């Protein structure tokens, strides 16, 4: 079904709940030319009163939930839009693989996004899905064996051995495995919800993993104080540490790939295991030595302070180890540093200097100037702009695969970027360059459209020079770690 409302309505937004509210209004726009071929108004429950007007679709927004929104200029040059939530059978992203269609056609898009990589099946090899389907029951049988063995181990150390039965050991094993199961939920959530983040900024997420893991250890450390709450405390600790592991493992795989410049990823992983095992043995030995220190075992405050000191040292060393990594790929943080240097100083730093300047812990939303990627047209326009402004923007950005608009209401410069169908990582980089040029040359008294036009003209003249400087400084310009948000894309007719 379709609905039409004026662009100026402030209540319209483009997040899923708002879309549902718009669809629930059941407002119908009479336009026979926009109905599917072979359908009439009667089939769609529309009474047009025998009249129709010529309306021109100027752009279409395609949302990640398969909703399509058409912006239309009517006879009076009023900007209206359709919201069409009819999902095309070919829009599930699996048309490239017959095996994928037959095996996963019954899954909802939400579940597919949760369990499969973005861009599947084109983003993975042909044997990926078959391997994962067979790996799934393999892991189930492995964890069944783990549960049974846990019961035997607990009985061997004395739990249940005096009862003459294995009931106590089985009960203890159930509690122990339940603790592990609660922790596994954290890994499930991280892998499904945030799997697309680790390629962009592995250093940041590896550091966050240690912070979260440290928080999980605090719950474990508190169990002697509250032995009656062992299970909930240990479960919370496992949950936090599982989240940390969900962040750590993918991040470190990206770092290992960075090390393997000659394609020797397997050897890099194997040698890393050697370093880790040696460190584990030394750490266990020193830990046992500390525990054998007279008075430490019986003094919980001393034990806690020792742990706290070691943990602070651990976090500091982790930060230092990540800070020495010198990636030659351009992610969002490094892109900001490189673009700013080019705009201000007409040069770009090398990989070593840029990685040293990069702030590992800083969240993107705290960086300035603020850039909001992947917004809808109404969010960009604020619901108050005229159709002439929209048409002017479309004309202004006709050669670009994005549309950038300024928000001058805040004290600091803030920009919103909408991407067109076919946008690439290079489109993201160009929008960043334009943003920093505007931030450097912005004048509040000047016309917004004039400054946008001037920034595009400057980018046309200087962006190629910027790319040449990047290549000369050793940056990989052929594989940018700048992802185009796919929650909404604009298709200009």
pLDDT digits (tens, 9 = 90+) for 224-234: 888 888 878 88
pLDDT: which is higher, 389 or 9: 389
Q: What is the pLDDT of residues 56-76, one digit of tens each?
A: 777 788 886 667 888 777 666
Report, as an integer, the average pLDDT of 333-362: 94
Please tell me the CATH code under which domain 133-324 is placed.
1.20.1250.20
* pLDDT for res 8: 40
Span 382-413, pLDDT tens digits: 755 567 788 889 899 999 999 999 876 666 78
**Tell me, what's the pLDDT at 75?**
64
117-170 confidence digits (pLDDT tens): 666 776 676 766 775 677 677 766 765 665 555 555 555 555 554 444 555 556
Pick 256 or 170 by higher pLDDT: 256
Sequence-separated (6 or more) residues with CB below 8 Å from residue 406: 413, 414, 415, 438, 442, 448, 451, 452
Beta-carbon contacts of 437 under 8 Å, excluding residues fewer than 6 positions away, are: 343, 455, 458, 459
Residue 158: predicted pLDDT = 57
Please state, for a pLDDT cut of 90, what percent of the chain lies above it: 23
**CA 283: distance to chain centroid?**
35
Residue 124 near residue 131, CB atoms below 8 Å: no
Q: What is the distance of C-alpha 282 from the center of its chain? A: 37
* % of the chain at pLDDT higher than 70: 63
Q: Pick from 416, 401, 424, 404: which is nearest to 477 by CA?
A: 424
* Residue 285, SS3 per DSSP: helix
Contact predicate 95/20, CB 8 Å: no
Is the pLDDT reported for residue 209 higher than 60? yes
The confidence band for 273, taking pLDDT boundaries of 50, 70 and 90, is: confident
pLDDT digits (tens, 9 = 90+) for 296-333: 667 778 888 888 888 899 999 989 999 999 999 999 99
Q: What is the DSSP letter of 34?
A: G
Alpha-carbon span 390 to 152, nearest angstrom: 70
Between residues 374 and 9, which one has the greater pLDDT?
A: 374
Provide the pLDDT for residue 53. 42
How high is the pLDDT of residue 126? 73
Lowest mean pLDDT among 15-19, 150-154, 472-476: 15-19
Q: Does the structure show a pLDDT above 70 at 189?
A: no
Q: Cβ distance 291 to 297 under 8 Å? A: yes
Arithmetic mean of pLDDT, 456-469? 96
Phi, psi of 478 (to 5 degrees): -95, -15
Q: What global pTM score does this model have?
A: 0.72
Token output for 31: 């336009």
- The answer to whether 29 and 80 are in contact (CB under 8 A) is yes
Non-local (6+) Cβ contacts of 390 within 8 A are 7, 58, 71, 79, 377, 381
Q: Is the separation of the CB atoms in 223 and 215 below 8 Å?
A: no
pLDDT tens profile 25-41: 333 333 333 444 444 44
Task: Supply the DSSP symbol for 33.
Answer: G
10-14, 306-310, 366-370 — which is least confidently predicted? 10-14
> What stretch of H or E contains 82?
strand 79-84
pLDDT of residue 357: 93
* CA separation for the pair 464, 470 (Å, rounded): 10
Q: Among candidates 472, 485, 481, which has minimal Cα distance to 402?
A: 485
What Rg value do the Cα atoms of the chain yield, rounded?
28
Q: Where in the chain are the domains? A: 133-324, 332-490
Q: Note the pLDDT of residue 20.
A: 44
Dist. CA 111–CA 109, nearest whole Å? 5
Please say whether the beta carbons of 173 and 149 come within 8 A.
Answer: no
Distance CA 79, CA 7 (A): 6
Q: Is the peptide bond before 121 cis (omega within 30 degrees of 0)?
A: yes
**pLDDT of amino acid 18:** 40
pLDDT at 344 over 80: yes
Residue with tokens 């550091």: 207
Give me the helix-helix angle, 448-472 and 425-441, nearest 10°.
120
Comparing CA positions, the residue from 133, 138, 102 lying closest to residue 116 is: 133
Average pLDDT, the chain: 75
d(CA 171, CA 177): 10
Q: In the prediction, which pLDDT does 220 show?
A: 84
> Residue 38's pLDDT is what?
41
**Is pLDDT above 70 for 184?**
no
- Classify the phi-psi angles of 416: left when phi > 0, otherwise alpha if psi is within -120 to 50, otherwise beta: beta
The whole-angstrom separation of Cα 110 and Cα 123 is 18
Please state which of the ranges 169-173, 293-297, 334-338 shows the lowest mean pLDDT: 169-173
């Amino acid at each position: 079904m379709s609905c039409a409302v004026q662009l100026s309505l402030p209540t319209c937004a483009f997040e899923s709940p708002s879309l549902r509210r718009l669809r629930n209004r059941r407002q119908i726009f009479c336009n026979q030319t926009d109905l599917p071929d072979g359908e009439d108004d009667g089939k769609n429950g529309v009474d047009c009163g025998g009249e129709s007007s010529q309306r021109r679709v100027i752009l279409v927004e395609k949302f990640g939930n398969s909703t399509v929104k058409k912006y239309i200029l009517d006879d009076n040059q009023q900007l209206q839009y359709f919201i069409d939530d009819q999902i095309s059978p070919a829009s599930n992203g699996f048309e490239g693989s017959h095996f994928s269609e037959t095996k996963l056609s019954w899954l909802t898009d939400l579940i597919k996004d949760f369990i499969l990589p973005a861009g599947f099946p084109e983003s993975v090899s042909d044997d990926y899905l078959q391997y994962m389907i067979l790996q799934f029951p393999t892991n189930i049988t492995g964890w069944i064996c783990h549960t049974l063995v846990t019961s035997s181990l607990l009985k061997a150390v004395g739990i249940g051995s005096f009862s003459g039965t294995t009931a106590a050991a089985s009960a203890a094993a159930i509690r122990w495995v339940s603790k592990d199961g609660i922790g596994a939920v954290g890994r499930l959530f991280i892998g499904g919800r945030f799997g697309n983040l680790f390629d962009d900024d592995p250093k940041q997420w590896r550091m966050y993993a240690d912070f979260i893991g440290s928080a999980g250890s605090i719950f474990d450390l508190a169990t002697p104080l509250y032995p009656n709450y062992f299970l909930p405390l240990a479960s919370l600790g496992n949950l936090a540490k599982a989240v940390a592991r969900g962040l750590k493992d993918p991040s470190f795989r990206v770092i290992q790939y960075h090390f393997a410049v000659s394609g020797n990823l397997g050897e890099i992983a194997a040698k890393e295991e050697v370093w880790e095992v040696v460190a584990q043995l030394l750490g266990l030995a020193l830990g046992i030595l500390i525990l054998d220190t007279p008075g430490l075992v019986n003094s919980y405050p001393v034990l806690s302070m020792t742990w706290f000191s070691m943990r602070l040292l651990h976090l500091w060393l982790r930060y230092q180890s990540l800070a020495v990594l010198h990636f030659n790929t351009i992610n969002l943080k490094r892109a900001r540093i490189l673009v700013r240097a080019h705009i201000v100083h007409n040069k770009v730093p090398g990989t070593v200097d840029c990685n040293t300047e990069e702030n590992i812990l800083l969240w993107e939303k705290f960086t300035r100037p603020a850039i909001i990627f992947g917004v809808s047209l109404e969010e960009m326009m604020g619901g108050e702009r005229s159709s002439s402004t929209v048409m002017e923007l479309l004309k202004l950005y006709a050669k670009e695969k994005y549309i950038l608009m300024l928000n001058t209401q805040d004290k600091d410069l803030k920009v919103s970027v909408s991407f067109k169908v076919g946008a690439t990582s290079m489109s993201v980089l160009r929008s960043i360059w334009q943003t920093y040029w505007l931030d450097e040359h912005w004048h509040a008294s000047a016309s917004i459209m004039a400054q946008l036009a001037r920034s595009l003209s400057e980018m046309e003249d200087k962006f190629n020079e910027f790319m040449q400087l990047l290549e000369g400084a050793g940056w990989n310009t052929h594989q940018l770690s700048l992802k185009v948000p796919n929650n909404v894309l604009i298709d200009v007719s």
